[in-house]
């Protein structure tokens, strides 16, 4: 059952996470009481939705607080993502308009579709939502909730968009997180895979350009006989999955060339495409 609180005499927040395998993990909702004396806020105008999005003071403050927490925990700071910002703002405005509080409101698409429709491209997504009197109170509540804290300090996240809209008696806040692969070069992808292979005892050599050609075809390395190719797609290049590990152990060759190639561009969950040419 979902915990609910009488508004505005409570702080409420809920986390949401989703990986490229479309699994869901919801942390327990929490309610943190605070003084019933709240500032009065002007209801956001519907006409603001048609204007170019600009970050307000509360959104900037939450962004700074979030990255301060990550730096304090030796994690890289998150980049601001306009597509995530757009999706977060739309969800926050809908919560305000419907005077409701959830990750998915009646008639609204699920998180994955909302981020996709906003133009985001990702391999991992997560979301925090909250109601509270100010940004500092909301952030403090998130950091004292295991599920929300895990989203803020996730090593998988690389980008975030944060929205805060003002209601008559409270703030509605949304943090949308993602790991985006849109800007990573083929060379960077190949280096990540090569490092994993080297750590497992393979000698990474050969032509990356020739290996790239085998990413989309049955080509091997010109002039080299007895080669074999292992092709795979993954949403994360930090480790090999179990099935790929089995394929690698079956290889008799100890030399390998690594080639990455582009997958079809588009919004939504995306994947890396890699070819390993053993010889």
* Rounded CA separation 230/245 (Å): 11
Q: What percent of the chain is predicted at pLDDT more than 90?
A: 56
Helix H or strand E segment including 141: helix 135-143
Question: What Å distances lie between residue 136 and 65, 68, 117, 221, CA to CA?
Answer: 8, 13, 30, 57
Lateral strand order in the sheet of 203-204: 203-204, 255-261, 272-278, 228-234
What pLDDT, on a 0 to 100 scale, did the predictor assign at position 279?
87
Q: What is the per-residue pLDDT across 14-50, written as a single tens digit (0 to 9) for each?
A: 576 554 333 333 333 333 322 222 222 223 333 344 4
Q: Please give the structure tokens belonging to residue 271.
A: 């994947």
Q: What is the 3-state secondary structure (H, E, C) of 155-196?
A: CCCCEEEEEEEECCCCEEEEEEEEECCCCCCHHHHHHHHHHH
pTM: 0.66
Residues in the chain, pLDDT under 50:
1-12, 19-50
Q: How many residues appear in the chain?
A: 279
What pLDDT, on a 0 to 100 scale, did the predictor assign at position 11?
39
Q: Please give the structure tokens belonging to residue 44.
A: 């956001």
């Amino acid at each position: 059952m979902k915990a609910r609180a009488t508004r505005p005499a409570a702080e409420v927040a809920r986390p949401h996470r989703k990986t490229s395998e479309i699994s869901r993990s919801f942390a327990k909702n929490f309610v943190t009481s605070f003084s019933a004396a709240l500032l009065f806020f002007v209801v956001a105008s519907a006409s603001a939705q048609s204007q170019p999005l600009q970050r307000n003071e509360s959104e900037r403050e939450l962004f700074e607080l979030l990255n301060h927490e990550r730096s304090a925990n030796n994690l890289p700071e998150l980049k601001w993502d306009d597509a995530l910002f757009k999706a977060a703002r739309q969800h926050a405005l809908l919560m305000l308009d419907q005077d409701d509080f959830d990750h998915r409101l009646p008639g609204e698409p699920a998180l994955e579709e909302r981020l996709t429709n906003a133009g985001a491209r990702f391999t991992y997504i997560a979301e925090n939502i909250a109601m509270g009197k100010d940004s500092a109170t909301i952030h403090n509540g998130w950091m004292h909730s295991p599920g929300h804290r895990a989203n803020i300090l996730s090593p998988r996240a690389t980008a975030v968009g944060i929205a805060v809209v003002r209601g008559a008696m409270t703030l509605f806040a949304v943090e949308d997180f993602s790991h985006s692969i849109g800007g990573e070069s083929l060379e960077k992808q190949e280096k990540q895979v090569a490092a994993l292979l080297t750590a497992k005892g393979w000698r990474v050599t050969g032509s990356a350009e020739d290996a790239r050609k085998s990413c989309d075809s049955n080509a091997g390395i010109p002039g080299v006989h007895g080669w074999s190719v292992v092709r795979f797609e993954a949403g994360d290049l930090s480790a090999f999955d179990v099935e790929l590990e089995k394929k690698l152990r079956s290889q008799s060759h100890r030399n390998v060339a690594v080639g990455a190639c582009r997958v079809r561009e588009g919004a939504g969950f995306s994947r890396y495409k890699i070819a390993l040419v053993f010889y």
